[in-house]
Amino acid sequence: MLLPVVNGEDIVLRQYKGKENLQTGAYHIEEPVGELFTDYRSIDLVVVPGVAFDRNGNRLGRGKGYYDRLLPLINAPKIGICFPFQLVDMIPTEAHDIRMDKIITI
């Protein structure tokens, strides 16, 4: 399993190898340490968090553009995950926004 790690203005991916290999990173979130993962073609599925999603697969993030820069590099299905109250009728979008292939509410 790969997890995102904030690295300056971008997100990089690192392999999760257990709780013992986590350290507190940006935004006080525990993140995996170790080598960068850059073989984006080998990724089978991406699960993407968001502040809100709409039924057309559009996603509202936190405004830093981290996922807007990472997702175009990955050619795997993208699944947005959220609580039911985060699913709204319409999310405003821009040309660089990446649409989710599916939205799952939990």
Q: Kindly state the tokens that stand for 32.
A: 């995996």
Catalytic residue among 10, 14, 59, 62: 59
What structural domains does the chain harbor?
A: 1-38 (no CATH), 43-106 (3.40.50.10420)
In sequence order, the 6+-apart residues with CB closer than 8 A to the CB of 7 are: none
Give rounded-to-5 percent helix, strand, coil for the chain.
20, 35, 45
99 has catalytic annotation: no
Annotated catalytic residue, options 69, 97, 99, 101: 97
Q: Catalytic one among 68, 69, 99, 101?
A: 68
The stretches of the chain forming alpha helices (DSSP H) are 66-70
pLDDT in tens, 20-57: 999 998 889 999 998 899 999 999 999 999 999 999 99
Could you report the per-residue pLDDT of 63-84, keeping only the tens digit for each? 788 999 999 999 999 999 999 9
Query: What's the CA gap between 7 and 25, in Å, rounded?
Result: 9
Token pair belonging to 13:
């991916």
pLDDT for 52: 96
Active-site annotation holds for 59:
yes
pTM: 0.86
The 3-class SS string of 37-65 reads ECCHHHCCCEEECCCEEECCCCEECCCCC
